[in-house]
Structures are given as C-alpha cells and as structure tokens.
Amino acid sequence: MAVREIQTPLDETTIRSLRVGDEVFLSGILVTARDVAHKFMVEKKPAFLRPLLRGAALYHCGPVMRKERGRWKAVSAGPTTSIREEPYTADVIQNYRVRAIVGKGGMGPRTLEACRRFGAVYLHAVGGAAVTLAQRVVHVREVHMLEEFGMPEACWVFEVDNFPAVVTMDAAGASLHAEIAARSHTALERFLGRAIR
C-alpha cells in the first residue's frame, strides 16, 4: 500500500499502477453525477460531456451548493452510495473514458470488469465527512443540467485540491468490497455451522 498524489487528466499508466489499499490525494477536475445524470449519459450520449469526462474523475455526489457574490460554493459534498449506478457505470467508463469513479460502498462485477478492461479505478471517499470534503473543492468551474435535473442531480464541475480517497477497486481486477463480502460470508457460515447460499 502506498500514498499517491494524482492529478487530472488521469492517464492509463498512472491508473494501472494503483492498487487496492493505496491512499490517494486527487487534484484537478472532479465531476459530480448521480442516478439521473448516469441515465442521461448512457441513453442520450451527450457530446458536450465527452471532452469534460475524458481522463477525469466522476464523483457519486449530490452536493449542497450556495451562491456567494455570484459564484457557486460547495457547502456539503460527501459521497453517495455507488451501487445504484452499477447498471450504467461500465458504459460510462467505456464511452467517456472516465479514469476514476469516486463514491462510497463500492460497486459490482460489471464495473470491476470495465475498470480492468479500460483502465479505471474506484476510489472510496469517507462517508459522513461531507463538509470536510467540500473544503477540498477550491473552485466550481461550471454546472451542467442544473435547471433540468436540480441541484443534487446536476453535473457540477469541481476543481479539487488533495481530495482524499482510498483505492478499493483497481484496474488489475481486485476489489476490496468483494474480498470483504467473501470473508464475511465464510465467517457467517462458520458461525452458523452450515453452508449458506
């Protein structure tokens, strides 16, 4: 396990060098997207997002934003549960060449396979630290689909500095979430004294 500072745009070589358990501090562009945005990306394939997302990090986050003196400021920007985006994320990684997904709770086998094939990682951000993580947002560059989707579902383009996370799914096909689930299953069977499905 290593501590790494990474900067967007993220290249495939850097991403493939990361391993499960590595701590990372991400600087650069972090684009928020939740359920509505993922569905929009997969079904409508908006061209305006392609250059923005190529080599970028996509953040499963519904931020609370406030306008101060005509500029947007992130008040709260914690991760939301990522597994809801499992039906879409593999396609997003493939079609938009996103290099990092940031969220909480991990994702499933389809996303893990896309990470392996296309060179991406899943970064686990700390849940319950939304205000602290918002302080890593040094600038809000722009927002897309605010009127159409509303504040939490819009695509906010954040510039972040040393945003902390841990690699829990890597481009080599390892998943800390799958490993913990398997260990828990084994421990439960041992506790119950019988095999369970």
Can you tell me whether residue 176 is helix, strand or coil? helix
Can you tell me whether residue 85 is helix, strand or coil? helix
**Fold classification of 3-192 (topology level):** fumarase (3.20.130)
Count CB atoms within 10 A of the CB of residue 68: 8
CA distances from 136 to 126, 146, 163, 184 (A): 13, 22, 6, 34
Give the relative orientation of helices 86-96 and 109-118 as an angle to the nearest 10 degrees: 10
pLDDT tens digits along 164-183 = 999 999 999 999 987 777 67
Spatial separation of the C-alpha atoms in residues 111 and 91, rounded to whole Å:
9
Number of DSSP helices (H) and strands (E) in the chain, helices first: 8, 9
> Which pLDDT value is given to residue 184?
65
Spatial separation of the C-alpha atoms in residues 170 and 64, rounded to whole Å:
29
Give the relative orientation of helices 86-96 and 35-44 as an angle to the nearest 10 degrees: 50
Q: Write out the two tokens for 122.
A: 């899943």
The answer to whether residue 38 is catalytic is yes
pLDDT tens digits along 130-163 = 999 999 999 999 999 999 999 999 999 999 999 9
> Which pLDDT value is given to residue 188?
65
| Domain-wise residue ranges, the chain | 3-192
Spatial separation of the C-alpha atoms in residues 111 and 21, rounded to whole Å:
18
